[in-house]
Structure 1
Amino acid sequence: MPNRWLSVEEIAEYLGVSKDTIYAWRERKGLPAHRIGRFWKFKAEEVDDWVRSGGSAEPSEEQSN
C-alpha cells in the first residue's frame, strides 16, 4: 500500500520536523492536510509538491520588509 494516508507523527518523521511544526505549517502556511474524523491525514505526494513549491520556506528579511 505505497500511497496510503500518513498521520501527523508519520509526516513529521518523514519531513524531519516536530509535530508542532506540522500543525503550525498546516494552520499558517497551507500544508496540505485532510481531516478524517478527528484526525489530520496527509498524502506524501501532496506534501512533497508543497515543499518543492516553497511552502515550507521561511520568508527572507527582504520579503518581510
Structure 2
Amino acid sequence: MVTATQLFEQFAGPPLNDEILTIPEVAALLRVAEKTVYTLAQRGEIPAFKVGGQWRFSRSAIQAWIDSHNRTPQGSDKPDASSTSSEGAPSAMKRAKTQRRHQ
C-alpha cells in the first residue's frame, strides 16, 4: 500500500527546503557577505522574492543567474572595474575624464 506522503513525494518532487534558499545560504553559495546578497536583492540585481518580509531565492534561478554571469567571450579579458559600470558602459569617472580632455 502506498502512503499519502509517498504519493506526494512522487508527484511533487524533492522537498522545497532544498529548492528555496535564504540570504545566508545564497551568501555561502556565492562566497560573499550576507549584506552583499541583501543589497543585490534590494536592487533587483539577483533573482529574489519576499515571503513575509524576508528575502528568499530559488536555487534554480540563482544557478541560472550564476551561469549567465560566468559567460565571457573567449580570448577577451573582463573590463577594468574602474573604467566600466556593471552594465559594461563607461563609468561616470571615465566619462568625466574624457569630457575634460575634449574641452
Q: State the TM-score, normalized to the length of structure 2.
A: 0.50
CA–CA separation in structure 2 for the residues paired with 1:40 and 1:51 = 18
The CA RMSD over aligned residues, in Å, is 2.6
- How many residue pairs get matched? 63
Taking only the aligned residue pairs, the percentage that are identical comes to 25
User: Are positions 1:46 and 2:61 aligned together?
Assistant: yes
Aligned residue number for residue 13 of structure 1: 28
| Structure 1 gap ranges (5+) | none
The list of structure 1 runs, each at least 4 consecutive aligned residues, that deviate by more than 4 angstroms after superposition, is: none
1:7 maps to a residue whose letter is T
1:47 shift after superposition: 0.7
If asked which structure has higher relative contact order (CA below 8 Å, sep 6+), I would say 1
Give the whole-Å Cα distance in 2 for the aligned partners of 1:26 and 1:36. Answer: 13
TM norm structure 1: 0.73
Q: In the alignment, what sits opposite 2:11?
A: none
Gaps spanning 5+ residues in structure 2: where? Answer: 1-14, 71-77, 91-103
Q: Per the alignment, do residues 29 and 8 of structure 1 end up closer, same or farther by CA in structure 2, a change over 3 Å counting?
A: same
